Amino acid sequence: MKKIILMLAWLLALSGLPGVSAAAGESYVFGVTPQFERRQLFIIWNPILKELEKRTGHSFELALLPDIPSFERGYNAGQFDFAYMNPYLVVANANPQGYLPLVRDGKPVQGILVVAGDSPIRTPADLDGKAVAFPAPNAIGASLLVRAELARSFKVRITPSYVKSHTAVYLNVAQGLADAGGGVQKTLDEQKDAVRGLLRVIHTTRPFPSHPVAAHPRVPAAVREAVQKALLDLAASPEGKVLLQEIPLARMIPTSARDYEPLRELGLEDFFVPER
């Protein structure tokens, strides 16, 4: 009887049934910066991680934190083996664990400032003394760059509020709870028409390299390479393009820490708030 059970187990392993190869490999925690609320992030990322399991033979546990500061604390503590993260966190002083970027979208990202469609505010200069919502202090496009340009280029002083996600920023502005809000074009495009149609972009920041998927240095090099290859192969497939467009990360290219070095020249450390 024992021999029959062992034979069945061996046949199942060879059959390539879903989950069999993943169970045979190591398990890794995959953290995702919460640009959207957790339910939406799960819908977007769970099928992507399932594809990674099939393509690498490893299993991945999706770690979804309630807000961006919570994600940054987990990142600083090295709680994630892999992470989809704020580009500024790649810069050495903001990267205490030494996470290694693997892939990113080839299209640069730009921060935006939005106001309600019927707002009298026309330019960033009109925001002096106004309330502006941001997802978190350290969100590079939606907060760091926007706050830096408001202060340095437009010489305005604002009252910031941090509302946990990009989606919450857009809702706060649409509902009149903030005079303006910081985001990025990618996340604005992901909003429902009922929200996006109520907003107007009044400013776009300079471009910067997009959010990478990065690996903790403790992850073996062979596993990092396998995940990088699996993601690039996924992005090259028709079904993968559909899945990754939801992030969006469909124009995927290999990347490294060198690509993020220009972020040092922006002087954003004056606006960066370390999470403990």
What span, in angstroms and rounded, lies between the C-alpha atoms of 46 and 60?
9
What is this structure's pTM? 0.80
Identify the residue whose tokens are 């809702």.
171
pLDDT reported for residue 269:
87
- Determine the Cα–Cα distance for residues 43 and 56; give it in Å rounded to an integer: 21
Let me know if residue 28 belongs to a domain: yes
pLDDT over 70 at 19, yes or no? no
Q: Is residue 124 part of a domain?
A: yes
In this predicted structure, the answer to whether residue 24 has a pLDDT above a threshold of 70 is no
Which tens digits make up the pLDDT trace of 229-259? Answer: 999 999 999 999 999 988 878 789 999 999 9
Residue 209 DSSP class? P
Maximum alpha-carbon separation in the chain: 79
Q: Does residue 239 belong to any structural domain of this protein?
A: yes
For residue 235, the number of C-alpha atoms closer than 13 Å in the C-beta half-sphere is 21
- Confidence grade of residue 83 (pLDDT, cut at 50, 70, 90): very high
Q: Is residue 9 part of a domain?
A: no
CA distances from 161 to 132, 137, 178, 275 (A): 6, 9, 8, 17
Reported confidence tier of residue 69, pLDDT bands at 50, 70, 90? confident
- Assigned token pair, 180: 């303006």
Rounded to whole angstroms, the Cα distance separating 182 from 189 reads 14
CATH code of residue 147: 3.40.190.10
The mean pLDDT of the chain is 88
The Cα-based distances of 208 to 94, 102, 170, 184, 259 in angstroms read 16, 17, 22, 11, 10
For residue 213, pLDDT beyond 90: yes
At residue 276 the predicted structure's pLDDT band, cuts being 50, 70 and 90, is: low
Rounded Cα–Cα distance for residues 133 and 181 (Å): 4
Tokens of residue 259, six digits: 């690509």
Residue 8, pLDDT above cutoff 80:
no
| Eight-class DSSP state of 242 | H
Q: Are both 56 and 80 inside the same structural domain?
A: yes
DSSP 269: G
> Would residue 200 count as lying in a domain?
yes
Judgement on whether residues 190 and 146 belong to the same structural domain of the protein: yes
Domain that holds residue 64: 22-107+210-270
275 within some domain: no
Lowest mean pLDDT among 20-24, 190-194, 203-207: 20-24
Could you give phi then psi for residue 200, rounded to 5 degrees? -135, 130
Whether residue 150 sits in one domain with residue 183: yes
* Residue labelled with tokens 């009252």: 159
Secondary structure of residue 252 in the 3-state scheme: strand
Per-residue model confidence as pLDDT tens digits over 163-197: 988 999 999 999 999 999 999 998 999 899 999 99
Query: Do 135 and 176 lie in a common domain?
Result: yes
Query: Are 203 and 216 contained in the same domain?
Result: no
Query: Mean per-residue pLDDT for 112-129?
Result: 97
First and final C-alpha spacing in the chain: 56
Please provide the size of the chain in residues: 276
* Domain count across the chain: 2
Which of 162, 180, 208 terminates a domain? The answer is: 208
CB 210 within 8 A of CB 103: no
Does position 79 have pLDDT exceeding 90, yes or no? yes
